[in-house]
Chains A and B, each alone.
Chain A
Amino acid sequence: MTTTQPRSAIAVAGLRKSFGDHVVLDGLDLDVPRGTVFSLLGANGAGKTTTVKILSTLLRADAGDARVAGYDLARDPDAVRAAIGVTGQFSAVDKLLTGEENLRLMADLHHLARSEGRRRVARLLDQFGLTEAARKPASAYSGGMLRRLDLAMTLVGNPQVIFLDEPTTGLDPRSRRDMWQIVRDLVAGGVTIFLTTQYLDEADELADRIAVLDRGRVVAEGTAEELKRRIPGGHVRLRFADPQGLDAAMGVLGEVARDNDALALRVPSDGSLRSLKTLIDRLDDRAIEVDELSVHTPDLDDVFLALTGDSANEKVTTR
């Protein structure tokens, strides 16, 4: 028996995977309750895609237990495949076929009756705003349209668990928001979503629970609020009218993060009245003019940076 509760859509214990000497997953533990959005957050190369590949039966793990939709991944991969849908980073559509033909292909492979397939394809085309382009070959689609078609194809089979591997990487802001809305609608319909992303705002926006992956291990897990509470990432942001003010304040405050374009400084602070007063007094003593002052509670950026160390995070984006 595993420790799986029946309420888990995905339960993973001690998952390991190496490619040669390179350890990608180093004892991964995860538990995703049914009907929730779970986000695996990490920089490029942290092991996100490998995790998705293992959980979607594309790769075998070297060690560890995993159950997806209640089925053991190693013993029952067919049952797992029947229960999941996967939309990866690279569009899994047939570019020579039209959008409609791609969806019909999926309907046929799920052995839907002709009329039922037709109905479902029409509904998905409509739901994903692809009705107009339905008869155009997918090679003529924009990036956002391809990603929508890709996800629509995943949904033809009514999967219980959906893996979205960086679903908005490379999309423009508008397409990205469309994708977020689609994900929210899906969850409202009761499916479980396993989302990997390198965008902190995306995890913050969509996920019920977030796991931060670093060098093949989960270094923190919880709701966005819980994660933010775990670390003291609060700061005060000071904006100045001119570079002279900025320089003068730097001289007073010493080592603080500086944003030249915005003429702003980011000063660590716990947000208490006493620390604010101290800060203001120091600036006042030197008669430095501050244009604007704002107090920030920690966001996921701070969490991420605090948890994973600086060097590995150059590629984490915070659009």
Chain B
Amino acid sequence: MSTTVLTGPAPASLRFHPLRDSATMLRRNLKRMLRYPSMTLMLVGMPVVFLLLFVYVLGGTLGAGLGGAVPGGAAGGRAAYANYVAPAIILMTVAATVQGTAISIAMDMTEGIITRFRTMHIARVSVLTGHVLGSMIQTVISLAIVIGVALLVGFRPTAGPGAWLATAGFLVAVTFALVWLSVALGQVSKSVETASNLPAPLLLLPFLGSGFVPTDSMPAGLRWFAEYQPFTPIIETLRGLLMDDPIGNNAWIALTWCAVIALAGYLWSKRLFNRES
């Protein structure tokens, strides 16, 4: 009788291999990125353009306006502003790249291959973790390019090797959180167009925080929002690590936000993926 199969331990062929399946899905996503390089270029191009705009077009004036509001800002000018704005542009790079995650998830969901994966005996979450890992690799590459350009246009971080390492680890945590959020946003979108719009607020948030100007120059209501939204402690932590400024509680607040966003994004994504098609 086949009842032994039903009640006994699962036979070897029925065990799940989430790590192996995730690696397979990661390979698939990396291949897709290579086949469709215009997307990667577009995603890294936007923060670079913003960086150039803010340093060369607006930097002179905004830098003068920084005054003594930030350490090192007293000297004013373009050079000071390049240092001030670089962390915001770095965060914007992460936000732009995860927008790509939402788009590629939504593209995937409209194609039959995902339906095929659902009818296969694979670790289901690997479909999503493959995207997450792929996006994280893509973000690391984008970050390297953007930080490289920032250094070329006058960004002069004072961080030592330890602080750089901490910065890298911190950026990975931020990326991980935002990627999981956009995996959910990509799934909840009914179309690829929606998927490219839904994460757009992530690109706006650095502006409504301490990313481009100090929050104490803002009107009261906006200032309140700017000080309590998650991107401000993230930017302040980056700034602190890179420019050797005091960080205070910002690092813990930022990491807590990351943990909350990552967990919520993961649970939401999983729920969305397991709903019936």
Within 8 A of B (CB), among A66-94: 70-72, 75-76, 78-79, 81-82, 84-86, 88, 90-94
Do A111 and B17 touch (CB < 8 A)?
Answer: yes
> Is A57 positioned at the interface, with any CB of B under 8 Å from its CB?
yes
- Shortest C-beta distance, A62 to chain B (Å), equals 12
Within 8 A of A (CB), among B108-134: 111-113, 115-122
- Shortest C-beta distance, B10 to chain A (Å), equals 8
B21 contact set on A, CB distance < 8 A: 109
- Shortest C-beta distance, B275 to chain A (Å), equals 11
A93 partner, pick from B5, B20, B113, beta carbons under 8 A: B113
- Shortest C-beta distance, A52 to chain B (Å), equals 10
Do A88 and B115 touch (CB < 8 A)?
Answer: yes
> Is B271 positioned at the interface, with any CB of A under 8 Å from its CB?
no
B113 contact set on A, CB distance < 8 A: 92-94
Q: Which of A95-103, A202-210, A219-227 contacts its partner? A: A95-103
Interchain CA distance A128-B36 in the complex, whole Å: 28
> Is A31 positioned at the interface, with any CB of B under 8 Å from its CB?
no
Q: Interface readout for B156-177 with A: 1 if CB under 8 Å, 0 if not?
A: 0000000000000000000000
B116 partner, pick from A86, A97, A108, beta carbons under 8 A: A86
> Is A59 positioned at the interface, with any CB of B under 8 Å from its CB?
yes
B contact face: mostly helix, strand, loop, or mixed = helix
> Is A6 positioned at the interface, with any CB of B under 8 Å from its CB?
yes
> Is B2 positioned at the interface, with any CB of A under 8 Å from its CB?
yes
Do A84 and B32 touch (CB < 8 A)?
Answer: no
Interface residues on A, range: 35 or more
> Is B152 positioned at the interface, with any CB of A under 8 Å from its CB?
no
Do B276 and A109 touch (CB < 8 A)?
Answer: no
- Shortest C-beta distance, A65 to chain B (Å), equals 14
B36 contact set on A, CB distance < 8 A: 96
B2 partner, pick from A6, A81, A150, beta carbons under 8 A: A6
- Shortest C-beta distance, A73 to chain B (Å), equals 12
Q: Interface readout for B76-113 with A: 1 if CB under 8 Å, 0 if not?
A: 00000000000000000000000000000000000111
Do A78 and B111 touch (CB < 8 A)?
Answer: no
> Is A198 positioned at the interface, with any CB of B under 8 Å from its CB?
no
Interchain CA distance A150-B112 in the complex, whole Å: 10
Do A96 and B32 touch (CB < 8 A)?
Answer: yes
> Is A60 positioned at the interface, with any CB of B under 8 Å from its CB?
yes
Name the residue on B nearest A138 (C-beta).
Answer: B113
With contacts A79-B14, A94-B113, A111-B17 taken as known, whether A58 is within 8 angstroms of B31 at the C-beta atoms is no
> Is A105 positioned at the interface, with any CB of B under 8 Å from its CB?
yes
Do B115 and A96 touch (CB < 8 A)?
Answer: no
A70 contact set on B, CB distance < 8 A: 2, 5
Sample of 15 A–B contacts (CB below 8 Å): A58-B115, A58-B118, A58-B277, A59-B277, A76-B6, A81-B120, A86-B119, A92-B111, A92-B112, A96-B31, A96-B36, A97-B32, A108-B20, A109-B120, A153-B116
* 18 extra interface residue pairs, beta carbon distance < 8 Å, beyond A58-B115, A79-B5, A79-B14: A6-B2, A58-B119, A58-B276, A60-B276, A79-B10, A81-B119, A86-B115, A86-B119, A88-B112, A92-B111, A92-B116, A93-B113, A94-B113, A108-B27, A109-B120, A137-B35, A150-B112, A157-B120
